[in-house]
Structure 1
Amino acid sequence: MGFSLTEEQASAWLLQQPFGPFLLGLVACGVLFAGGVQVWYGALRGYRKRVRLPGQHKRWMDPICAIGLIARGTIFAIIGGFLFYAALTVSPDQAAGTKEALDYVYALPFGRILYGAISLGLMAFGVYSIIEGRYRHVDAPDLDGMRAAAARI
């Protein structure tokens, strides 16, 4: 038996707490920041620090990684915008999740085109996740460093 809240329920609960609109505003800022970091990470190819793409596949993998991260960051930013608006209006009905963010994009002028682009971007993020799982480079600590850390304990 799991317990889960919808975005509206979680926002309503948070808005009922002391300083609730302020707290929801902080959450919104955090989600907006996370979205911005994802867009920045994708646009500047920051993932290359940790993901070692093979040379023969780099030509097609690199754009997929960038597009996927930018699309995910964009969705985060839209969700953060909804949360911030909910905090300003003190209305949990204004809070939204991924479904509402995608519905918002669909309702915009040229929404179907934007919706398709975001959908392709989110599929690219899924492919990026697979690529990252396969090619992520993790620096393992060396044995001397582990011994020195153990000696300090």
Structure 2
Amino acid sequence: MNAHTSTLPGRARVRRAANGSVVEAAARWGFVARGVIYLLVGALALHIAFGGTGRQADRGGALTRLSEQPFGSVLLWALGAGLAGMALWRLSEALFGAAGADGHKPHKRLLSAGRCVFYGFVAYSVLAFAAGESGSGGGSSDRQSQDVTARALELPGGRWIVGLAGAGIVVAGAWVAVRAALRTYRKHLKQGGMSRRTRRLIDVTGVAGGVARGVLFAAVGVFVVLAALTYEPDRAKGFDDTLRSFAGTPAGPWLLALVAAGLVLFGVFSFAMARRRRV
């Protein structure tokens, strides 16, 4: 250890350790795991758009499909571990700050903390499914959404709670879509040595995929708001029913196909970020 390192404040040394190779590897594996899920959900939704039925187009359907592959159990455990790695990385950002000039700002840390909780929950559900727990990550997102909504509506001020939660999801979806359209992900990329073709691939998948993801989240939020307004928890929908509802619009199955293709592209974008994202 050189003299400069030995004089570093304790907090700085902890930060350096937290942002070391272990957390970086965890983050990159997390992007891969996220990409696999969106790729599978998008593929299942495309199947529905072109006349397929049966398989649910959500995380549960994706996990079930993955479990049916050779070495499916190993793949599920690897996927859960990757998502846990994503949660670990976001926890590191919440505690020590993210990469970039504004990574230490309180709102950035708070956002990272929220993402840590989200990915921690998703990782738990995937690992529980891999361990064979019934009703875990492989369950229907529609049923889960309706159950949570029904319990929330029974609380004092339940309609307000559900309505505000739905509105928050709508705003979050719009925020995701707008940020993707503005290509804000570019500031997080390692630009050195990136070819023009790679930049084009990242822009196509990042914009189209991010907008589709945002639209899906916003639509889920709209159904939650409707459940609050009508006091009918069954009006709430998860990913599967929300995606299927796109086929019931005047655009028909083509809108569903468009959103589904966007989710596939977001999966590809996640793979690109696994390699090119500054962590």
Q: TM-score category by the smaller chain?
A: 0.7 to 0.9
| Aligned mates of 2:157, 2:272 — CA distance in 1 | 42
Amino acid at match of 2:195: G
Amino acid at match of 2:183: R
- TM-score, normalisation: structure 2: 0.47
SS in 2 for 1:115: helix
Alignment counterpart, residue 158 of structure 2, candidates 4, 20, 39: 20
1:106 partnered with 2:247: yes
Alignment counterpart, residue 127 of structure 1, candidates 241, 252, 268: 268
Match of 2:236 in 1: 95
- TM-score, normalisation: structure 1: 0.84
Instruction: Name stretches of at least 5 consecutive residues in structure 2 with no aligned partner.
Output: 1-132, 137-142
| Aligned mates of 1:52, 1:86 — CA distance in 2 | 43
| Aligned mates of 1:80, 1:48 — CA distance in 2 | 27
Match of 2:182 in 1: 44
What do you get for the CA RMSD once the two structures are aligned?
Answer: 1.5
Moved more, 81-90 or 44-53: 44-53
Alignment counterpart, residue 55 of structure 1, candidates 195, 205, 226: 195
Between the two proteins, what is the percent identity of the paired residues?
34
Moved more, 1-10 or 120-129: 1-10
Alignment counterpart, residue 66 of structure 1, candidates 200, 204, 207: 207
1:30, distance to aligned residue in structure 2 (A): 1.6
1:111, distance to aligned residue in structure 2 (A): 1.7
SS in 1 for 2:189: coil
User: What per-residue deviation string (whole Å, max 9, x for no partner) do you get for residues 52-94 of structure 1?
Assistant: 3523311222111111000000000100000011111111011
| Aligned mates of 1:108, 1:40 — CA distance in 2 | 23
Instruction: Name stretches of at least 5 consecutive residues in structure 1 with no aligned partner.
Output: 139-153
User: What per-residue deviation string (whole Å, max 9, x for no partner) do you get for residues 23-65 of structure 1?
Assistant: 0012112211110111011110011111235233112221111
| Aligned mates of 1:40, 1:107 — CA distance in 2 | 25
Amino acid at match of 1:39: A
Regions of 4+ moved over 2 Å: 1-5
1:115, distance to aligned residue in structure 2 (A): 1.1
Amino acid at match of 1:55: S
SS in 2 for 1:58: helix
| Aligned mates of 1:69, 1:39 — CA distance in 2 | 6
